[in-house]
Amino acid sequence: MSLPLRSLTRTLTRTSRTCHTPSIATTRPILPQTLRQNVSVTSSRTTAPFSTSPMRSKARTMGQIRARNATGPFSWKSALLFVLTGAGMIVYFRVEKDRLERKRIAEMSKGVGKPKVGGPFVLKDLEGKVFTEEELKGRYSFVYFGFTHCPDICPDELDKMAEIIDKVKEANKGDNVFLPVFITCDPVRDTPEVLKNYLQEFHKDIIGLTGTYDQVKQVCKAYRVYFSTPKDVKPGDDYLVDHSIYFYLMDPDGDFVECIGRQDTPESATKTIMEHINDWKREGKPLKKD
C-alpha cells in the first residue's frame, strides 16, 4: 500500500509544477508605451524606399503605359519642329550669304564719284524724243548694244532678250519693273524708222535708242563697249561694225550690277535678274511699277 501511494504523490507534484511554469514560446517582454511608439515609427520609416525622383502617377491602362514608355523625353512633334527650324535657318543663311555676295560685287563695280560702267548720256528714242540716263532710273534696266545689219549674233541675242522680258514680267506678276533697251552702234544706217521696224520683230517692249555719231560713241565709252564704227561714212557705204556682246543690268539708281553674256540662257539670265530685283525689294527700296 505504501508504494502506490508514494507514486501517486510524485505524479501530483509534477502536474502542479507543469501548470504553474510559464511557457517560453508564448510569452514576450512587456515594454513601456513610449518605447513601443518609437519602435513602431522606426520600423515604418525603414520599410519605405528612399528616392529623389518626383512622384509619378500610376498608369491605369496598358495604353497609358505604352505611351509613357514610347515617347521618352522628346515627342515626334518636338523632333519635327527641331528639324524644320534647323533646315529653315540653313536656307536663310545661304540666301543671305548669296545676297551679301551680290551686293559686294555690285559695290565693287562702282567707281569713286561715278560708276565704272554706265553714266550720263543723251540719245533719242524712236519717236524723236530726248532720252537720257535719268529715264532708266527707278527700274532695273537691261541694256544691249548692237546694230540692225548684224548677220547672226544680234538676232540671236535679241531672241534671247525677248524670252527674258517675258520671263521676268511673269516672275514679277506683270509689274513693269524691268526696262529692256537697245542702243545702236551704227547711227548712220540705223535711222529711227529702220530701228523701229527691226525691233518689232523681236519684242514690242524693247526701247530703241539712237543719236549722232559722237553721242553714240560717248555712250559706248560710258558702258565700256567696244566701238569700231567708222566716222565719215555715207548712206549706202558698206562697212563692218564690231561691238561687245553683253547685256548690262543696271539697278534703279543707275548703277551697274551684272553682266549677262552669250553663255547665259534665258532661264539663267532670268534667275540672275530676279535675284537682284528681289534683293532690292527685300531692302525696302523704291521701285517703279508703272
Binding-site positions for Cu cation: 150, 154, 243
C-alpha angle 87-93-95 in degrees, rounded to nearest 5: 100
**115: closest CA among 257, 271, 290, 255?**
255
Q: Look at strands 207-210 and 140-146 and give their pairing.
A: unpaired
Coil, helix or strand at residue 95: helix
Residue ranges of the annotated binding site are 150, 154, 243
What are the angstrom distances between the C-alpha of 27 and each of 17, 21, 47, 135? 18, 12, 26, 119
Task: Report d(CA 202, CA 243) in Å as an integer.
Answer: 20
Buried b / exposed e over 110-136, threshold 16 CB at 10 Å, is: beeeebebbbebebbbbeeeebebebb
Task: Report d(CA 201, CA 148) in Å as an integer.
Answer: 11
What are the angstrom distances between the C-alpha of 32 and each of 36, 38, 94, 280? 6, 10, 83, 94
**285: closest CA among 103, 104, 125?**
103
Residue with cell 520683230: 201
